[in-house]
Structure 1
């Protein structure tokens, strides 16, 4: 037995200096080159590791551009291959060590030492790459050996650590990606915002109608009153607006996240849109900056601008701008305008109930306002008052008082915004002409306010008195100059009760007033007032008209038949002239309604309007046809200061050179000797009576030397009156209107030349203008611009320079 710490000696060895222990070469000499190799391998390993990390980083970069999935797969493949290579290297290293141990145990000291020296001297020096690979393999083998020695599931721990780091890096990447995307969306949303401009919104075109004295009759379109500071408004007005539109106005920074969430929840819960999330600041942004387009982009822009507006202006300034600019229906922009429009008072004098009803109008101004739907406006105003009470902005006594006032509150618009038969009619005409005008339009009306007021009273008194006794409940009056300028128009007894305009829109049978185109057609064919024709019974395929008194006059002249309104003679005359000729003459006179080509047409069986028939009689007085009635004397373009005249005459009118005088004489005989005697006045007067079957309609249309007046009396339900004829009540009304207008100015009929309208030269500058070449040329070469004819002929017509755009080339002057 020997001590395990002392090597055994062979039998032939002796003590002495020359003896060498057998373990010395392995224990002292061999480790030195192994330590050197490991150090070099470690350095090579770290160098290779750094290069690998560099390649991995570049691979990650490429993976980011080509796809995270591909990069991850490449890394997993690289790791797998490295693991397999490292495992193979460890196995090979272990096999080499086992082989070395086996060889070392069998060889003697001399042989072993000699072989090591020989191997060390014969082995070539490894390259840096080979040493790095070898170092990598050795390091992998040592790492796996350490992991094999761990007891607490080292593989799971590594996997968990990798998962944590991958999660952290993934979340960081997603966060960065979200920030980039959000920034991109924000840039897209705000790139075209008008951040440098803070202008009020473009108003809708404003139409102002004035009389010839310059007094405003009425206005339509946008209506703005003066700007009123917030401290001059009653304190309950901004509170009422905030209560219904933005309760947290004083708390949020311009965008109310809480309000948006609440609105989304309520809308989802109700299955529809019942609440909006826009703040007052956002609504102001839409008014000042943005168009009404509803897109996500506009919503983002709205939010960005709202936040900026809050920082720049502050709460009070924002509320002030909002109250002065929000739309409140009926053309009113801002609370000052709405106070004037709905209650005819300044905004400083609004009561709590009036403030509540105006605040209630903001959400749906066109549908819910005191003028269009007072009941719904009251209901919503009650909600406003309730919210103000719940928020303790008003006490119970103020709530009860305002609610009581609200129950009886009625709008009181100023006269300039009130409607009338003439206003409604001229508004339609002005809107037709305004299509050729950009910007505000000032219209000078042809209306004579004094005559209009008198005509309204005359009709109202006549229907209330004599009309009621005769079973007549309605009437209409049109008074115009011979060139078609309407001086008065009454479309019914009471506009407030019924806005239906019986002067322009009611289609009624004209009776004998339609005999005008029949006899005019005969004159055109060569007859004269002394031409004779039989007034005898006539039967045309079962149609057998009778005279009013049931008797026949025999052979009569055209003058007598027209003056006495003989039906049988008139129907026979129409048959000789031809019904188609009668219709053609009617069209030339301006009668545009449907005319049925039957024998009864000669007695007025086809329905026409009072305005059309009055135009036809005006054509006889003017000596040219047709005459188009108009309520507009001139237009003034707000942006240019240019005034344009509007005439009722047609540039293509036919002159009644030969037929005017005999027709005038027959019409005058009706007043002097026929059915229209009650219309007689001092001076020249002419006209024709008309009565439809069973006295359902009664007419008188006639003229003096300077005014044409048409009157109709009847019932809206077309029920018969009690023996009312055109020579009775309508003729009396006609006479009163004519006398109210000043009567006749001459004893005889005026000449046709005296009826030629005086038309204002276009291009009259109200202020100095820098008109372009086309407008100067128009003023020089085209003295008159027929706005009516040009606007109807050309869709591209522009009134400011009286031009239109042809299919090719520059704009051209309208010469119609």
Structure 2
């Protein structure tokens, strides 16, 4: 037997003796059931009930738990140190109470003129006990219902938001800030939505909770939170909106003020009364659900709240409301006083305000945006009265553009190969069950593209949109700066997708710039009180949106619309190009156009989208455009539009070939593929007779030998015209044709 076999035999014997010994021990313990055995994975027998080796999943679960616990412990320690350090760095309650929230911002026009100084408006500081209980409860109910129980951040609210974000129920993580977090942001941070800022906000909120009591935090918050219109604190807001101190706020008034924090501009009672009322009803419902008020108190009619009557204010605030929030993005975090130099022209702003006021139909609103050739905003009017309503219709309102949208339809058609002179047919058309009709109810039949655009023929626009593709039209609008959602249903060619006035004005400005992208901007530079420049506008890289010939073609069409079409009321005594727009039932009226490098868009209509009798783009909006532009361009040179269509070579395909000069002067290839020299064309060919003229007959070839030789050879005279016994000299050989590519000169042709 081999040594290996002996080792295995000895091993088996030892195993048998060990097993017998174990059985003996087991037997001595009584109970046969306890002596049952089972094999482990290693082959060793184990008593039943004895634990086996841990599984792979159990090992990693244990490791993850241990490491996760260690990481959580370290994170908690780090967070505690961070919160403790922040708490020690936070100023005292009395220092925070004395500090001013917000910045003083001096806004200047493009010429340096001071146009407005914007800063915080503070009322009297109200102690915690002086703030009406309903005001405190309303703010807690709508902003942070677990304010009394959390430690700066609300884990339940945060977890719910994270779950919604993971499951897709919420597009972004928002609405999770507690009152403590909002106070930390207002006191120490900016409003930038970055992870770093949110993390610092959470740490500072917990530090505030560590440092101050709940009553102190709520007192600071209600005296420093921004309620819109420059008002900080409940006392300032109460005086601004209701003409009385904050100590006298009713339940209904408190619900209105508490509802402002989410969006001061949107829910301001001076901007949109109905929106403010609807938001207040939400606050009252939450207060009732959380037990702060009874059902009878929750049913209070907030419509009966008397608002403070305010006098009119310069419309420049529409511009500053649009431009100044951009400072949060353009500048680093700073609370220092600032001077902001803008693109606004004071004279043009006055002219724009007057044009809107004098031309807007009664009961309607009007808006105007005017851009310089580089995108600088020269004037911006968002409504007829800023104090009555500070809702900015120039930059925020979404309205249907009507036929002004045809700009993108015809741009797509021109890029696809059409020209302004191409023939189109105005005829009834149905596309996917949609049958557009013209405003006059008639069809003119065959016309050209220029006329169809000038007179805003709907059926032609529908056919063009269907031909180039509605997605192509939408892509063209995107290319020209429209960021609003765009429908691709057939009716979109007539302007059924809602857009903002500033977007349409930007698109027309790009056409004025010969197809180059234009980005609207309002801030030129920002400097501190001591003159340090901390921001300066830089021109964007030039981007060509469409070829030059497409820009020239659409400018031709836009000019025709003002010269002879629907936009004749927009004429100002110099070249103007533009387009009208009117929606169904005259709910919206538009005119957008340009002249001498200035592009201006005008919109008119009602905020509730009700019809306005007689409101058409070619009337009041075009008249307001004309009134403003006469002032805006008065100091600018008259500029003629470039409407010459310099089509690329690939677009220049001749309809037929043409010959120049005598056809016999050209080489050609016959049907057999033979090269035929000039003057050797077949007289019997039907192509030989050109314009009724035949070339002179070709001379016969000379004889091979002389007549004397022939007479001697045949023994008889040979008839001929030349002298006898005198051989003719052979003619000179014809000149050789020039090499390919060289010019055929006259001497060569004469020799033939």
After TM superposition, the score normalised by the length of structure 2 is: 0.50
Return the index of the structure with the highest Cα Rg: 1
Write 1 or 2 for the structure with the bigger share of helix.
Answer: 1
After TM superposition, the score normalised by the length of structure 1 is: 0.46
